[in-house]
Structure 1
């Protein structure tokens, strides 16, 4: 189960297909931004991942360029337990979102695509989130606000195309989209 209101932590789980490009890049960017807040736990998994694989080389380069650290990353498959334990599930596509919550339906209210969450977070009034001193309370407030906006804010492109096996430009595009989508949520979570 995700942490309760009384618990100190907040777990964000990123999901893509192989856990080699999009979700590890998002995980490591979020970890870099949230690293000074020990209450946050950030991880990733893949719906079709083979355990123990390295991040794709083009993705590693994009991640370093964006300020993240690829060291020590290894892929892992998505499990129902990972979804159940996450306070927020952010996926690369709507298909990943559906697949993530299929095994644990209560997660549907806390699962979004990365791009969808970013678009909805941009519509949240900052004062609804940043007034909380505790970063976990900010995270819970942001999730509540974003959840309330679901269906009210149009999200033009909720999916991030898979760059795996494609050019370095495809990896850069995916990286820029992820970075842009996470910018406002991470800023809201780290601003007091």
Structure 2
């Protein structure tokens, strides 16, 4: 199994939605195992009722959930750690500095990984075009951009220092805690868009 760990503050709304929505968007039989934790979470069984309501409205499964605090062991054992805000990414790195290249915010990772895949696709297309011009024939399956989970994560980490900077708020998902239900639902929709892109990037999630 390849563990993807989502992190928010209380492990009540954002990271829970990300965990369960990614699980719903991954293909059947995927080796990716979505999990979640909170920097200030207290261990407790069951999902908060409003979180479960919006999750199930979007097709996720709310059963069998238990909130838990973020630990160094959870960070170290995950192939990819995705904070729902920059503060969560930074908390994960403080707990396990050696995991820094595997720690991003959710939106940051999708932004960097998609750009990396697009670059690779363009480069591969150019190589295939050159091969065709010289009598070569592409294999007909399109460019193979991603060979595995670890390749996607490494490419995103490599791009982090080279990509044009964005406003910090662009890489955060705002906390809906204490806000009206409509805000929580909007948050869930935002997370769903990001994890749907993530699911496409990770594909079957070959283990690292």
User: Do they fold alike, i.e. is TM over 0.5?
Assistant: yes
Alignment of 1:1-192 (within 5 A): 9-34=1-26, 36-125=28-117, 128=120, 131=144, 137-151=147-161, 152-156=163-167, 157-190=170-203
Count of residues in Structure 1 that have an aligned counterpart in Structure 2 = 181
Moved over 6 A (4+): none
- Structure 1: distance between partners of 2:145 and 2:148: 6
Structure 2: unaligned runs, 5 residues or longer: 122-142
User: 5+ unaligned residues in a row in structure 1: which ranges?
Assistant: 1-8
Secondary structure class of the residue paired with 1:123 = helix
Indicate the structure (1 or 2) with the bigger Cα radius of gyration.
2
User: Once the 2 structures are TM-superposed, how far is the Cα of residue 153 of structure 1 from its aligned partner?
Assistant: 4.2
TM-score normalised per structure 1: 0.84
Distance 2:99 2:54 in 1: 30
Q: Which has the higher contact order (CA 8 A, sep 6+)?
A: 2
Whole-angstrom distance in 2 between the partners of 1:138 and 1:127: 17
Give me the TM-score of the superposition, normalised by structure 2.
Answer: 0.78
Question: What is the Cα-based RMSD across aligned positions, in Å?
Answer: 2.3
